[in-house]
Amino acid sequence: MLVLVAALAIWLIGAAMGTERRARWLMIGLLLIAAIAVQLVLPDGHPFRGATGGSAALWLIVIGVGVLVWLYARVLRALRARHATPTAPQRKGTFTDTELGRYARHIVLREIGGPGQKALKDARVLVVGAGGLGSPALQYLAAAGIGTIGVIDDDTVENANLQRQVIHKDAAIGTPKVFSAQEQMQAQNPFVTVKPYHRRLTDDIATELVAEYDVILDGTDNFDTRYRINAAAVVAGVPLISGALSQWEGQLSIFDPAHGAPCYRCIFPKAPAPELAPSCAEAGVIGPLPGVIGTMMAVETIKLITGAGTPLRGQMVIYDALYGESRTIAVKRRPGCETCGTV
């Protein structure tokens, strides 16, 4: 009873503190090992030995049953995954009958058609941040049939995220956001490949990682990371779709010096003082606003890949949800920009 109460306390306290499930199971495993050690080390009749089961065999049986249940669950998941994933080999850019039916509304669009949908299937898109902006962008990119979608984020799902980060569910609290997003995206569309990177985008990996993708989406909420993504995108010569939020207002633009548009630092040479750019946690944000801007980021991604319409290069859309207004302003490259001045 003492061991079971301790295990329950570990699980509940860990859940309240937001500890990952894997870490909680590890702590419970260590507790069981300690209980077995007590049975083996202490002499018969010792009160602490009696309080922890009285026999090592009892806990060995418990562990054995737990391992069997875990193995059964793994086998069951593997069988379900095999059933859900298309097994027929596919050539790059070809479609199954299921995919043709799924993307029919795209294919009948004159601006996209079959060649555009093939371009989406062959495309590689990296989304930095699986939070408010990344959530809707990831959902719609997966639904649209982007062939390879990378998502990088070092954060875990928290209760306070669920008011706006709609890709994550209540059951995912404590789970890394990239894995929570991957599960939902592949449940939505098993024909796409999702590559999760559960880590922070640091200088030592940014340039190499960004160069592996055709389009980059910036859904982050701090200027250091935005400048880092921008610099890597400029070096790689790939377009950067950047969104930002504050309370009731959002903005969106495509930064692409390789095609004559400014880079992010052209428009924002220096990070503002912290009190002038508070985070969503400090200033608040209306829940659907990230959905509006994040979905627009997905639309611009599809336009870039398929060549449809006029992408937001050299333009910035500002949307005011409180008053139902939007406006578009022109943005230009800044001579002598520290990041793209030599491009």
What is the block-wise mean pLDDT of the chain (343 residues), using blocks of 10 residues? Answer: 70 69 74 74 71 70 77 75 46 79 95 95 97 96 97 96 95 96 96 96 95 96 94 96 95 95 94 73 89 97 96 96 96 93 75
Contact 155, 225 (CB under 8 A): no
Residue 89 falls inside a structural domain: no
Return d(Cα 49, Cα 37) in angstroms, integer: 10
Report the pLDDT value the prediction gives residue 90, as an integer from 0 to 100: 46
Which residues lie below 8 Å from residue 104, measured CB to CB, with a gap of 6+? none
Together in a domain, 40 and 118: no
Angle at 130 between CA 156 and CA 158, to 5 degrees: 30
Residue 339 falls inside a structural domain: no
Together in a domain, 111 and 138: yes
Give the tokens for residue 246.
Answer: 């504050």
Contact 219, 227 (CB under 8 A): no
Residue 92 falls inside a structural domain: no
Together in a domain, 53 and 135: no
pTM of the model: 0.72
Together in a domain, 132 and 254: yes
Together in a domain, 141 and 193: yes
> Can you give the CATH number for the domain in which 140 is found?
3.40.50.720
Contact 230, 255 (CB under 8 A): yes
Together in a domain, 251 and 292: yes
Sheet containing strand 249-255, strands side by side: 193-197, 148-152, 124-128, 215-218, 240-246, 249-255, 315-320, 325-330
Number of domains in the chain: 2
Residue 340 falls inside a structural domain: no
Range of the domain at 32: 2-84
Together in a domain, 163 and 47: no
Residue at a domain's end among 55, 84, 113: 84
**Positive or negative torsion for Cα 167, 169, 175, 179:** negative
DSSP tag of 109:
S
